[in-house]
């Protein structure tokens, strides 16, 4: 397992980086559409991107664009996706350290 750890971490880092950029762009486009009164991205789409690893970019976008950060239900689902990632990484670390 330890031989795979660097490859897994590099792969995960790549996925998180790419999905975070995607998330940042999509949140920005949705904010722009909201300001201009145009067609909006479904919240489910934003959450899916976050769950697929884009949550760091989503968090940054919420701060930069002041977007979605006041919607309680949206934020509850967002933080649940962050907690899911923390749980998975915590479990993986535990299993790796246990042996």
DSSP one-letter code for 71: -
Q: What is the pLDDT of residue 33?
A: 96
Q: What is the pLDDT of residue 97?
A: 87
Question: Are residues 60 and 24 in contact, defined by beta-carbon separation less than 8 angstroms?
Answer: yes
- Taking 50 as the pLDDT cut, the residues of the chain under it are none
Q: What is the pLDDT of residue 2?
A: 61
Give the span between the Cα atoms of 47 and 27, in whole angstroms. 11
The 10s digit of each residue's pLDDT in 73-92 is 999 999 999 999 999 999 99
Question: Token pair for residue 82?
Answer: 């962050």
pTM above threshold 0.75? yes
């Amino acid at each position: 397992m330890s031989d795979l750890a660097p490859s897994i971490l590099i792969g995960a880092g790549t996925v998180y980086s790419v999905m975070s950029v995607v998330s940042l762009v999509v949140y920005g486009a949705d904010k722009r559409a909201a300001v201009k009164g145009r067609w909006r991205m479904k919240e489910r789409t934003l959450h899916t991107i976050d769950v697929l690893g884009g949550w760091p970019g989503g968090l940054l976008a919420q701060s930069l664009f002041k977007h979605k950060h006041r919607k309680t239900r949206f934020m509850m689902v967002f933080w649940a996706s962050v907690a899911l990632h923390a749980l998975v990484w915590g479990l993986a670390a535990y299993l790796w350290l246990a042996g």
